[in-house]
Structure 1
Amino acid sequence: MRSPITDSTASEPVADGICTLDDGRIIAYNLSGAMHGYPVFHLHGWPGSRTEGSLFDLQAAELGIRIIAIDRPSIGLSTPHSQRTVLDHALDIRQVAKHLSIKEYSVTGVSGGGQYALACAFLIPPEELRSIALVCGQGPVEVSLRGMNWSNQMVVRRFQYGPTLIRVLMHGMSWILKVSTMNRTSNERIFESFQTLRWWGLLGLVEKDKKVFANPDTLRAVITSMREHFRQGVEGCLAEGRVTTSTLGFEIQDIKRNVRLWYGREDTDVPATIGEEIARQLGENATLRLEDETHLSLVVNQQRPILQDLLDRP
């Protein structure tokens, strides 16, 4: 749940595919990894987009996995869906799977995609959804925020108790960036600025996160994904805030199947305490793994075991 960059009009990444849903909306998706491999739906973070799936390209290809990363409604190239819920999006995923003629698949929910992965675990039959993983996944808003950094806690609480203020601030930020033409700055120019000005110290990143962003491909992928999140403006991000600070519409205890939980002991964005509480509520249906990683380094450094674990599905 890091701060947004801007509306994304500076670059024009295209989707690998478009699925038209039963209600006429479209869901855009990108493919990476092994094009004919075992399908894994990647549910992106907040803010993030379908292009985030490219982070897993190399490891997925080596393991024979096809990553299908989709834009949630109002994000990237996907159509808005007024008053959507996490369960609504689980139904969207089933339609995309049908569109791609996929009968069996797995799901990973990374960071802000965590609640959506839980919704899939609750809603989609096990003969269709074979395995589920939350990777530093955000849990229900009722779960303790203990261990979360103050800025993320403030965002969560503002969406809960002051959403109008958040809306005004984000639209104001968007207007300022448009007036200053910053929204038309290319992704490559932003990449060069980060490399030249060494902004990481100003952002307060810890050493492990600095090492993650030392990889140019990773940095480019993150910049592209975050900017694509705001392609349609700030409404998608605001919708994400509303959805993820609302009740799930089901109880975690009602999930009757195994869910893999991967969390970093050094993560202050979505702290390990959230994973521990989700595991407590899942009971015997949880497989919890705590690694000596941060929010960013967990996603990058633990890709292979996370994906391999999905293949070792029950």
Structure 2
Amino acid sequence: MPSSPVRPTSSESIADGTCTLDDGRRIAYNISGTDDGYPIFHLHGWPGARTEVSLFALQAAQLRARIIAIDRPGIGLSDPHPQRTVIDHALDIRQVAKHLGLEEYSVMGVSGGGQYALACAFLIPPEELRSMALVCGQGPVEISLRGMKWGNQIVVRAFQYCPAFIRLLMHRTSLMLKLLHLDLISNERITRHAQWLLRWNLLGVPEMDRKLMADHGTLLAVITSVRVGVDGCLEEGRITTSELGFDLRDIKRNVRLWYGREDTDVPVAIGEEIARQLRGNGTLRVEDATHLSLVVDYQRPILQDLIDVGYNTVLL
């Protein structure tokens, strides 16, 4: 584990805007770090939104990186894109890059953003996409769920085999929250309640993550990013439990794979299988970390590696 990791203490962004794509849809983005820094697209988790990038804001500024986080279609301020695929969203990323005037950039897929990062590695030419990383990233649905906690396994299998039940459950839950006006509770108030639950270990959160969530900024970033709409979450569940539409063996460039040995959300076995399917084009790093602690405690080496590889990639 890196010595004396710097905790995120600032969620200030450089820019918050939208890009209108060729088909008329809008994609919302948030840019953190430095406005002249090395560009890295941040692909958020599930559930999640572009606000998740606030976890990386301080380190991005220190490393002179410019992190561009985008809401996937139907999430946050981005327009829906019915029946989209992971490849469709990789095409969206290329259009956002063009809108921002970026000729070269990198991609980082965190947790549920992993499949989208793999699609970028498959689709986007190396002269544009200079480096890419999966950070506890989800892989193809056919990969074994060995090591994943039961709750997550149930959700994955439910999306695969009985999505109508998940849809009904989530919509009923959303309706109940609205009837009780619980959907209007501020993030700050939810944070105070969550801190109390964490103090008494009532959420079943691993000890490493409980310590991280004791930091107000970290907890607020997590809560803000997961307060997304039901329809967007359902569409994400459909996509991430469907076939990718391409074979990992067809990715002919290096993908950096970062996984936590103590992670039971996206276990290390998934990273190992992705590395195997990449056939030598995956560089696997396994750290003594959980799901959240990998994202928070290892963000500096992850970002630095993306920047170094991005600047030093030699095109043949």
Q: TM-score range by the shorter chain?
A: over 0.9
TM-superposed CA distance for 1:286, in Å, is: 0.7
With over 3 angstroms needed to count, the CA separation of the structure-2 counterparts of 1:197 and 1:277, relative to structure 1, is closer
**C-alpha displacement at 1:198, in angstroms?**
3.7
One-letter code of the match for 1:262? Answer: W
Deviation at 1:195, TM superposition (A): 2.4
Distance in 1 of aligned mates of 2:113 and 2:265: 13
Mapped partners of 1:150, 1:198: distance in 2: 21
> What is aligned with 1:106?
106
- Residues 41-64 of structure 1 show CA distances to partners (whole Å, capped at 9, x for unaligned) of 000000000011111011111111
2:183 equivalent to 1:183: yes
Deviation at 1:226, TM superposition (A): 1.0
Tell me the equivalent position of 2:224: 224
Query: Structure 1: which amino acid aligns with 2:110?
Result: V
Q: Determine the structure 2 residue equivalent to 1:145.
A: 145
The root-mean-square deviation of aligned C-alpha atoms, in Å, is 1.2
Q: TM-score, normalised by structure 1?
A: 0.93
Of 213-222 and 194-203, more deviation after overlay is shown by: 194-203
Distance 1:151 1:200, change over 3 A: farther
Q: Is the 8 A contact 1:19 1:99 kept in 2?
A: yes
Offset of 1:200 from its aligned partner?
Answer: 6.2
Cα offsets for 1:245-296 (capped at 9, x unmatched): 0000000000000000000000000000000000001121110000000001
Contact 1:42–1:67, Cα closer than 8 Å, also in 2: yes
Letter in 1 for 2:281: N
The answer to whether the Cα contact below 8 Å between 2:133 and 2:256 also exists between their aligned partners in 1 is yes
- Distance in 1, matches of 2:283 and 2:125, equals 19
Q: What's the counterpart of residue 155 of structure 2? A: 155
Percent identity among equivalent residues? Answer: 72
Aligned to 1:258: 254
SS at match of 2:116: helix
Look up the match of 1:306. Answer: 302
Relative to structure 1, the CA distance from residue 200 to residue 62 in structure 2 (aligned partners, 3 Å threshold; closer, same or farther) is: farther
Contact 1:200 1:210 in 2 (8 A): no
Give SS of 1:256's match: coil
CA–CA separation in structure 2 for the residues paired with 1:101 and 1:198 = 43
Q: State how 1:16-35 maps to structure 2 within 5 Å.
A: 16-35=16-35
User: Cα gap change, 1:58/1:196 in structure 2, threshold over 3 Å: closer, same or farther?
Assistant: same
SS in 2 for 1:284: coil
Q: Using structure 2 for the length normalisation, give the TM-score.
A: 0.92
1:71 maps onto 2:61 in alignment: no
Q: Match for residue 129 of structure 1?
A: 129
SS in 2 for 1:115: helix
User: How many pairs are equivalent?
Assistant: 297
Between the aligned partners of 1:199 and 1:185, the Cα distance in structure 2 is: 21
Q: Which moved more, 1:191-200 or 1:160-169?
A: 191-200
For residue 197 of structure 1, report the CA deviation from its aligned partner: 4.4
CA contact (8 A) 2:263 2:289 kept: yes
Confirm or deny: 8 A CA contact 2:45 2:110 kept in the other structure: yes
Q: Show structure 1 runs of 5+ residues with no match.
A: 1-12
**Hey, what does 2:3 align to over in structure 1?**
none
Counterparts of 2:197 and 2:47 in 1: how far apart (Å)? 23
Contact 2:198 / 2:210 at 8 angstroms: preserved in 1?
A: no
Partners of 1:43 and 1:199 in 2: CA distance: 30
SS of 1:241 mapped into structure 2 = helix
Q: What are the superposed Cα offsets for residues 149-197 of structure 1, whole Å, 9 maximum, x if unpaired?
A: 0000000000000000000000000000000000000111111222244
Look up the match of 1:4: none
* Cα deviation 1:91-140 (Å, max 9, x = unaligned): 00000000000000000000000000000000000000000000000000
- Offset at residue 201 of structure 1 (A): 1.3
Deviation readout 1:75-101 (Å, 9 max, x if unpaired): 000000000000000000000000000
